[in-house]
Homo-oligomer: A and B are copies of this chain.
Amino acid sequence: MEKGRLETFADGIFAIAATLLVLEIAVPHVTHGGDLGEALLDLWPSYLAYATSFLTIGIMWVNHHTVFRQIRETDLVFLYLNLGLLLMIAFVPFPTTLLADYAWGDEGRAAALAYGTTLTITAVFFNSIWRYAIWDRRLLRSDADPREVSGITRAYRPGIPLYAGATLVALVSPRASAALYLAIALFYMVSSSFFGRDEAVA
């Protein structure tokens, strides 16, 4: 039950954070003689940033679910680690706006670094939650299949290095970094759809 309420609370924060992303897209102010159509096309970095963050939050929500399917109960440390994860998820709209407004212009480096740092810390919390839960099978369901558990561990392993790597790319090319954040989300969705059905999510 406790587990169920934490799950519901987390679901709420994932859903709200994803839906608040749209507030980031500033409605253009076009006066007489301006061209709204052109102004809307110029907003493509905002659409890209919106899609990147929405899909990333969506994937993290799916993965959060995968973790919770394997656990039996929660304890306070697990609860607070989840609170840390949710604090980062709820924070995502802020660096998303930075990415949209700056990543493709002159001040792109700081924006892409801020976005990547946020996702990297989020991935660290995510991995901590999983490792804390499986350590000594502390919070695992007694009937959790060891092969499935190690499959999840394997599936979550690339998260931190991928996001840390894309963050470091920002030092060289903020645009490549911004493209990578979207590519990671899309690649994850495509690869898990084809190969991951039995272990990672479901």
For chain A, the count of residues having a C-beta within 8 Å of the partner chain is 66
Contacts of A87 in B (CB 8 A): 50-51, 54-55, 58
* Cβ B5 vs Cβ A65 within 8 A: yes
Contacts of A192 in B (CB 8 A): 76
Answer whether A22 and B102 are a contact pair too, CB < 8 Å, given A83-B58, A110-B36, A114-B40: no
Chain A contact residues: over half helix, strand or loop, or mixed? Answer: helix
Copies of this chain: 4
Contacts of A144 in B (CB 8 A): none
* Cβ A37 vs Cβ B110 within 8 A: yes
Q: Is A133 located at the chain interface by the 8 A CB criterion? A: no
Partner-binding segment picked from A24-32, A150-158, A176-184: A24-32
* Cβ A196 vs Cβ B76 within 8 A: yes
9 closest cross-chain pairs (CB), A and B: A12-B15, A37-B110, A36-B107, A36-B110, A16-B19, A58-B83, A19-B90, A76-B193, A27-B97
Residues of A at the B interface (CB closer than 8 Å) are 2, 5, 7-9, 11-23, 25, 27, 30, 32, 34-37, 40, 50-51, 54-55, 58, 61-62, 65, 75-77, 79-80, 83, 86-87, 90-94, 97-98, 101-102, 106-107, 109-111, 113-114, 189, 192-193, 196-197, 201-202
